[in-house]
Amino acid sequence: MLTDDGKNLYVSWDEYHMLIERLALKVHNSGWAFDQILCLARGGMRPGDILSRVFDKPLAIMSTSSYRAEAGTLQGRLELAKYITLPKGELAGRVLLVDDLADSGVTLKAVVDRLRCTPDISELRSAVIWVKGASNYTPDYYVESLPTSPWIHQPFEEYDTLRPDRLARKFAI
């Protein structure tokens, strides 16, 4: 639910999973057939995993990082992994690139530009849950457009500050 100030969007686990399922339907209803899914770690791992299961397609992973400071709320220099992890073979054919959101668009655009130089990829499309108004990149598939570019509080955020000592207290270990 969006707060009154339009600056924050709070998402529950149920809402999060429903949005991923809606994303899967958008891709399916487009009629586009793809061979592999490449998700961007960390934000795209959960959507990528679910889409991989729904479409029964292999999942590749590429690590990216730009939000590290201030408990992951301050964008810094973009870092892209040198290698992409796949269970077998190379990234090739028709590839669906998956992330959680297009925030500034910098990460998605950088990855798309890099992948377009990969000769074995015949077609590349991108899919995210949210596109913010501030994004300079619009993915091929998305579920929600957020013109006010709110900060999205995803349900797994609690793990950003959770440490083993707090878990031990929680379970009285």
β-pair partners for 131: 102, 145
Q: Which pLDDT belongs to residue 78?
A: 78
- pLDDT surpasses 70 at 159: yes
Q: How confident is the model at residue 2 (pLDDT cuts 50, 70, 90)?
A: very low
Range 8-170 has CATH code 3.40.50.2020:
yes
Q: What is the pLDDT of residues 83-127, one digit of tens each?
A: 788 878 889 999 999 999 999 999 999 999 999 999 999 999 999
H helix count then E strand count, the chain: 6, 9
Q: Does the predicted TM-score (pTM) go above 0.85?
A: yes
Spell out a b/e string for 41-67, using b for 16 or more CB atoms within 10 Å of the CB, else e: ebbbbbbbbbbbebbebebbbbebbbb
Q: What is the pLDDT of residues 36-70, one digit of tens each?
A: 999 999 899 999 999 999 999 999 998 888 754 44
- pLDDT surpasses 70 at 173: no
Half-sphere exposure of 45 (CA within 13 A, CB side): 9
Q: Which two tokens stand for residue 72?
A: 């992951």
Q: Which pLDDT belongs to residue 71?
A: 47
CB count in 10 Å sphere of residue 157 = 15
Q: How confident is the model at residue 76 (pLDDT cuts 50, 70, 90)?
A: low
Query: Cβ(51)–Cβ(44) under 8 Å?
Result: no
CA distances to 12, 81, 100, 126 from 150, in Å = 16, 28, 14, 21
